[in-house]
Amino acid sequence: MAKIKKAFFCTNCGNESTKWIGRCPGCNEWNTYVEEIISKENSNPNQSTFKDFSVKTKPVKLTEVKQNDISRFYSDDPEFNRVLGGGIVPGSIVLIGGEPGIGKSTLLLQIALSLKDLKILYVSGEESVEQIKMRADRINVKNDSLYLYSETCTQTIFEQVKAIEPNLIIIDSVQTVYSQHILSASGSISQVRECAGEFQRLAKETNIPVILIGHINKEGEIAGPKLLEHIVDTVLQFEGDRNYTHRLLRTIKNRFGSALELGVYEMKSHGLQPVINPSDILLGNRDEALSGVAIASTMEGMRPLMIEVQALVANAVYGNPQRSSIGFDTRRLNMLLAILEKRGGFQLSNKDVFLNLAGGIKVSDPALDLAVLAAIISSYKDEEISNNTAFCAEVGLSGEIRAVSRIEQRIAEAEKLGFDKIFISRYNAKLPKNKFSIKIVEVGKISEIYGDLF
């Protein structure tokens, strides 16, 4: 009788161990190990399942590698091409992660429908072909070379790949497929790792690009982040608040381009619409100035984004004042409040402070600091800041206003959107004279901004 082999895996990073351990030596997380059945005695998971049409590779000289080996496929969607660093690279393997219902299947079906010159195999382990057809009808684009396939066994999928010989394969999702070489259930760590490995070998040996859709676990990482990140060439993350219509597609890792790219979409009734001017939808209505609101000129990767920061400062009813923020790091908020108290002389220790970035997006750009301070001061004094003023600087622990990267691009975005004044750091590199018509106020300390603000 075949002997069953079991092992323990870390759910965070995929580390393997023969026994249970409390703390993972790979990622130092506690209590992440689970037991899984991995294989029968005589199966070899590294065996190639598509060896019939795999090409035997041998070492080649660098000078002999042909450039046209990397001619990309371009989709109709400029945002998708951008996050991939240009287009889909043949033989590459791309992972797209996101929460359920965010629009991953919609996005990839749209991409598949737009690539009319290519033969595409869209494999779904989650939906029947009829369900996919319904979605395609909603998107309302016709494509004769798109094959839909509802299947979950990787070996069966490879047989169809051999039969159809597609130019691109989409797997929806990597958590629903399983390999016969592994006994554990689909979605388990060993199964996900094995399937991703098999698709990677398929992509490399046949030069057919593979796009994997992955679900995000409760910590917001794709099935243990480090688990698949090193297997695939590109990792994209699809995110957004389901209560809003816009979605962000970020590059987390890219072997064929910059990892700082960002794509913006809006979910409409007929699919996802690329957004060329994201600041427009994030800023919303600017007719009336309100206290506690300040606009920041930030950068997400390589793209400038104007974001509305909203603060509310209120008397604390209970002993311990509350500090909470949505979309902004709470520790950074606490730090900025301490700076305001110590360097600005504001009495905040008996105040509740709430902070919110409008539009439900998360930003970690330090250039947001000055707008956060301005919004808090505005709410504290209950005096509004002109709605044509923007902010863009980092704040240091001693209350100094620090320079940020790509300042010209940030100022240009504020100017383009009709702002007439922007506060920046005095320590930025000298700006070219007469380049901007927007009034630029250079400040060095937080105390310098009050005079000009109200």
User: Distance of CA 205 to CAs 50, 209, 259, Å?
Assistant: 9, 10, 25
Q: Which residue number, 251 or 378, has a Cβ lying nearer to ligand TYD?
A: 251
Binding partner selected for residue 298 from ligand TYD, Mg ion, none, CB under the kind-specific 5 to 8 Å limit: none
Q: Based on the shown chain and the rule CB under 6 A, indicate whether residue 100 belongs to the binding site for ligand TYD.
A: yes
Residue 167 contacts residue 121 (beta carbons within 8 Å): no
- Per DSSP, 71 falls in state P
Q: Is 101 in the site for ligand TYD (CB under 6 A)?
A: yes
The yes or no reply on residue 138 touching ligand TYD (CB under 6 A) is: yes
Picking from 403, 412, 400, 404, the residue whose alpha carbon sits closest to that of residue 437 is 412
Cβ nearer to Mg ion, comparing 105 with 206: 105
With CB under 5 to 8 Å by kind, the binding choice for 267 among Mg ion, ligand TYD, none is ligand TYD
Select from 93-101, 155-163, 188-196, 394-402 the region that touches ligand TYD (CB under 6 A). 93-101
124 interacts with Mg ion by CB under 5 A: no
Q: Is 97 in the site for ligand TYD (CB under 6 A)?
A: no
At residue 133, φ and ψ (nearest 5 deg) are -60, -40
Q: 3-state DSSP call for residue 382?
A: coil
In angstroms, what CA-CA distances link 20 with 6, 31, 34, 137, 342? 11, 9, 8, 49, 49
Q: Determine the interface stretch with ligand TYD among 55-63, 97-105, 111-119, 368-376 (rule: CB under 6 A).
A: 97-105
For the CB of residue 103, give the shortest distance to ligand TYD in the complex, in Å: 4
Q: What CA–CA distances, in Å, run from 324 to 30, 310, 327, 328?
A: 27, 12, 10, 9
Least Cβ distance, residue 271 to Mg ion (angstroms): 14
Residue 106 binding ligand TYD, by CB under 6 A: yes
Per CB under 6 A, which region of 266-274, 332-340, 416-424, 434-442 contacts ligand TYD? 266-274
In the list 9, 32, 33, 104, the residue contacting ligand TYD (rule: CB under 6 A) is 104
Residue carrying structure tokens 């699809």: 238
Instruction: Give dist(CA 283, CA 192) in Å, integer.
Output: 40
Q: Which one of Mg ion, ligand TYD, none interacts with residue 271, CB within 5 to 8 A by kind?
A: ligand TYD
* Site membership for Mg ion, residue 105 (CB under 5 A): yes
Q: Say which residue the tokens 């249970």 belong to.
A: 20
Applying CB under 6 A, among 14, 87, 98, 225 the residue interacting with ligand TYD is 98
Kindly give the residue spans of alpha helices, DSSP state H, lying in 218-329: 225-229, 278-283
CB of 243 to ligand TYD, least distance (A): 12
Distance CA 394, CA 400 (A): 8
- Is 103 near ligand TYD (CB under 6 A)? yes
Of 238 and 346, nearer to ligand TYD (C-beta) is 238
204 binds ligand TYD (CB under 6 A): no
Q: Does 175 bind ligand TYD (CB under 6 A)?
A: no
The number of residues that bind ligand TYD (CB under 6 A) is: 15
Question: Shortest gap between Cβ of 140 and Mg ion (angstroms)?
Answer: 19
| Type of residue at 133 | K
105 versus 179: smaller Cβ distance to Mg ion: 105
The span of 255-263, 267-275, 331-339, 435-443 binding ligand TYD (CB under 6 A) equals 267-275
Determine the Cα–Cα distance for residues 179 and 197; give it in Å rounded to an integer. 10
Q: Which residue among 135, 226, 286, 362 contacts ligand TYD (CB under 6 A)? A: 135
What separation in angstroms does the CA of 193 have from each of 111, 126, 169, 224?
A: 25, 19, 18, 10
Cα atoms found within 13 Å of the Cα of residue 48, Cβ hemisphere only: 14
* Whole-angstrom distance, CA of residue 301 vs CA of residue 296: 15
Q: Which stretch binds Mg ion (CB under 5 A): 55-63, 104-112, 186-194, 436-444?
A: 104-112
Task: Rule CB under 5 A: say whether 188 interacts with Mg ion.
Answer: no
Please answer whether residues 270 and 113 qualify as being in contact, where contact means their C-beta atoms are separated by less than 8 angstroms. Answer: no
CA 224 to CA 13: how far, in whole Å?
5
Q: Contact between 240 and ligand TYD (CB under 6 A)?
A: no
Angle at 71 between CA 66 and CA 74, to 5 degrees: 175
Answer yes or no whether residue 350 interacts with ligand TYD by CB under 6 A: no
- Alpha carbons 297 and 431: distance in angstroms, whole number: 17
Q: How far is the CB of 236 from ligand TYD (least distance, A)?
A: 12
Half-sphere exposure of 219 (CA within 13 A, CB side): 10
Q: Which residues bind ligand TYD (CB under 6 A)?
A: 98, 100-106, 135, 138-139, 267, 269-271
Q: Which residues bind Mg ion (CB under 5 A)?
A: 105
